[in-house]
Structure 1
Amino acid sequence: MSDKMINDEALNIIFRDARTRNGWEDRKVTQTLMQAVYDLTKFGPTSANCSPARFVFVESDEAKARLKPHLAEGNVEKTMAAPVCVILGYDMAFYEKLPQLFPHADAKSWFAGNDPLIEETAIRNGTLQGAYFMIAARSLGLDCGPMSGFDQAGVNEEFFKGTTIKANFLCNIGYGTDENLFPRSPRLEFNEACEIL
C-alpha cells in the first residue's frame, strides 16, 4: 500500500457511504464553497488537458424558475428544494483554449475542422470532469444528486443559446437528508466487471 493512500474515513465519505440525495436541508451553499469545488475539479486529468466541462450553478429562485420547465416530472421537487443545481455542460469549442491549456504542442490543430473528434473528446472528457466534480463536492462536505432526467435541447436553449456549450447532465448539491432515500442498489463484483490479462 502506498503511504499516500487516504484513510478509510475519507473513502467512506467519497464512495462507500455517499448516496444520491433526493432530500435537502434548508442550508445555503456559499459561493466560496462552490468555487472550492471547482478549484479541486479542475485538477482532474483530461486528454491534452482539454478541460471541456463548463458549470452553471443554478442557485437563485429566478434561475431555478428558468430550469424548472425543462426537468422531468420526477426531478422537479427535489431540484427546486436543493440549494444549488449545477448544469454540467461541455464546450464544443474547447480546442480554442488549447494554446493556453496545452502550450507545448499545437493541439488546437488536432481538432479544428474534425467535428467527430471534437464531439467525442468533449463528451468523454466533460463527463470525466463531471465525475471529478462530484468527488470534489463530497470531499468538501457536500452531498450530490446527479440526474439525467431533463430536456437537453430546452436547457441548451435556455442557458447556452448563442454559445458552443451543450448540457451533459445535472447535479443537485447541498446538504442531503434521508428523505426519499432509496435503498442502495447492488453493484457488480470485481469478477463480473473486470478482467486481468
Structure 2
Amino acid sequence: MEKMLSDEGMDLIFREARTHRYWQDKPVSDVLLQAIWDLAKMGPTSANCSPMRVVFVTSPEAKEKLKPALMEGNVEKTMTAPATAIVAYDLEFHEKLPELYSQADARSWFAGKPKFIETTAFRNGSLQGAYLIIAARALGLDCGPMSGFDNAKVDEAFFPKGKWKSNFLCNIGYGEPDKLPPRDKRLSFDEACRIV
C-alpha cells in the first residue's frame, strides 16, 4: 500500500486533534456512533480476536447510572458530553474465533486458560480502543479518553454478568476549541525511540 493520508487527514486525527473536556450542545447521532464502530472494527488484532466491546452512554438515565463511578474531576465533562463510550473487553472473545479466524482452530489456544484470555483481551481491547478514538476523529468528532473512574462500579452497573470488563472511558462529541489549554510537550524521537 503506497498511498498516504493527506496532511489534512493527519492533522484531523493526530497533529491538531486534542483531548477535550468541554463540549458543544450538539448531539452525536446513533448513525455516527455506528460509523465509529464500523471503522474501528477494521483495525488489526492478534488472530482477529476482536475482544473490544463498547457501550455508548447517551441517555440522561444511563449517564446518571455512570455518574457514581466517576472521579470528581471527570463528572462534569462526562455528564455534558453527548456520548461516553465505555470501552470494555470480552472475557469470552475466544468463543467468536471460529467465525473470525479461519486459518486455524484459534479458540483452542484460549479455552481453559483464563490468564492468557485476560491478557489477550486487555491488550487487544486497548489496541481497539485506540482505533475507536482515531475513527471518531476521522469522522470529525472530538474525544476525551480517561481512566479516572471506578472500574468495579462500572462493571457492576453495566456488565453484571461479569463477561465484559471495563477498560477506559472516552467522551465523544464536538469539543469547545476555545477552552483548550496550550498543548503539552511530546517526547522527541530520540527521547523515546531506538533503531537497532
TM-score by length of 2: 0.98
Deviations 1:50-83 (A, max 9, x none): 0000000000000000000100000000100000
Match of 2:35 in 1: 36
2:64 corresponds to which letter in structure 1? Answer: A
| Structure 1 range deviating more: 115-124 or 137-146 | 115-124
Partner of 1:176: helix, strand, or coil?
Answer: coil
Match of 1:141 in 2: 140
Deviations 1:127-171 (A, max 9, x none): 000000000000000000000000000000000001400000000
> Contact 2:56–2:84 at 8 Å: present in 1 too?
yes
State the distance in 2 between where 1:3 and 1:95 align.
34
Is the alpha carbon distance of 1:170 and 1:131 closer, same or farther for their aligned partners in structure 2, counting shifts above 3 Å?
Answer: same
Question: How far off is 1:181 after superposition?
Answer: 2.1
State the distance in 1 between where 2:119 and 2:178 align.
37
Over the matched positions of the two proteins, sequence identity in percent amounts to: 61
1:152 corresponds to which letter in structure 2? Answer: N
Deviations 1:80-103 (A, max 9, x none): 000000000000110010001012
Match of 2:167 in 1: 168
State the distance in 2 between where 1:96 and 1:3 align.
36
Question: How far off is 1:114 after superposition?
Answer: 1.1
State the distance in 2 between where 1:74 and 1:37 align.
27
Partner of 2:184: helix, strand, or coil?
Answer: coil
State the distance in 2 between where 1:177 and 1:106 align.
48
State the distance in 2 between where 1:103 and 1:59 align.
36
State the distance in 2 between where 1:179 and 1:8 align.
23
2:185 corresponds to which letter in structure 1? Answer: P
For these two proteins, the number of residue pairs brought into alignment is: 196
> Contact 1:54–1:88 at 8 Å: present in 2 too?
yes
Match of 1:101 in 2: 100
Question: How far off is 1:184 after superposition?
Answer: 1.2
Partner of 2:84: helix, strand, or coil?
Answer: strand
2:158 corresponds to which letter in structure 1? Answer: F
1:61 corresponds to which letter in structure 2? Answer: P
> Contact 1:22–1:179 at 8 Å: present in 2 too?
no
1:28 corresponds to which letter in structure 2? Answer: P
Match of 1:186 in 2: 185
Q: Which runs of 5+ in 2 are unaligned?
A: none
Question: How far off is 1:119 after superposition?
Answer: 1.0
Match of 1:128 in 2: 127
Question: How far off is 1:116 after superposition?
Answer: 1.5
Partner of 2:94: helix, strand, or coil?
Answer: helix
Question: How far off is 1:180 after superposition?
Answer: 4.4
Shift >6 Å, 4+ stretches: none
Q: Which runs of 5+ in 1 are unaligned?
A: none
User: What RMSD in Å do the two structures reach over aligned CA positions?
Assistant: 1.0
Question: How far off is 1:115 after superposition?
Answer: 1.4
TM-score by length of 1: 0.97
